[in-house]
Amino acid sequence: MSFPDPLTASNAALAIEPAFRVGGVAVHGDLILSPMDGYSDQPFRSLCRSIGSAMSYTEFINAIDVVHILKRIEAKFAYLEAERPVVFQIFDDDPQRLLKAAQMLVPYQPDIIDINMGCSDKSVAGRGAGAGLLREPGKVASIFRLLSQNLPVPVTGKIRLGWDAESRNYLDIARIIEDNGGALVAVHGRTKAQGYGGEADWDAIAEIKQALHIPVIGNGDVRTVADIDRLKAHTGCDGVMVGRAAIGNPWIFARLDREDVTREQVHQIVYDHLGRMQEFYGPERGLVLFRKHAAHYLGPLFKSVAERRQLLTETDSQNFLAKVESLYAAGA
């Protein structure tokens, strides 16, 4: 009888050991694309997932839309099986409506339901949803208690540090989430009032991590690969969310800074990402929606504002790609 080599067996076990678990959902990796309205659609999420993002958060979905026009918004939470674990992120200010929306989304088989408590946009936070929920800890408790007791999947929350500098109640909110059944907290280290300005407070993320027993994801001011490691070391968080730094550099999920990415890799991803967009949205709309990504991918190749404008207003795929090839030829 032969026995497995202990070192080989140990290495195999390490290879499949998850970085952390969200309830019963294993997450293999510590870098995650942050949910971003207008960016984290299925084409971009799946691209980042293929490069190394460990799970896929949808763009946030309004619970009112789920309840009233579900069929018309299905594209918002469409996903590929290869993206799993998949997190459907929803927002609202009404606990019962959030529960109803989540129950309506369960048949689409998300792995996790996430409650957005971080959006600082006036149209969301101003009506008490998103970061507006941070001002109502009792309502946060009701939401997580209701959803965790009535859903078959884990419930998580993405928060900010508070409404403003005078109401940084992040520890209370984080504990409320955990105490009422929440399975993970993702923390953007800014207040609602800061928006995306100022510096993210990594000390506050570390406080939350030390206070909770569930996984904590850190988010804010991650621009480079070195920032990923610094945030993890500073906070002890289980994973790192990367948002704006991934736009134009999805290779950050392979721990590559943009300056370490070759021209050939950029060339290839333009075709790959555009193809995903056109397959998902159709040829015309896919190109139009891709152009904002192309501006980031190809920015270093533009020699003039006029050249940039010509490419980024092109509506014909063949002409668009011909202009891309001209950019590469000129820069060769």
Catalytic residue numbers, as ranges: 119
Helix and strand totals (H; E) in the chain: 13, 11
Q: In 3D, which of 129, 216, 234 has the Cα closest to residue 171? A: 216
Contact 152, 123 (CB under 8 A): no
Residues forming a β-bridge with 155: 113
CA 259 to chain centre: 23
Pairing of strands 112-117, 155-159: parallel
DSSP type of residue 315: -
Amino acid at 118: G
Contact 146, 174 (CB under 8 A): no
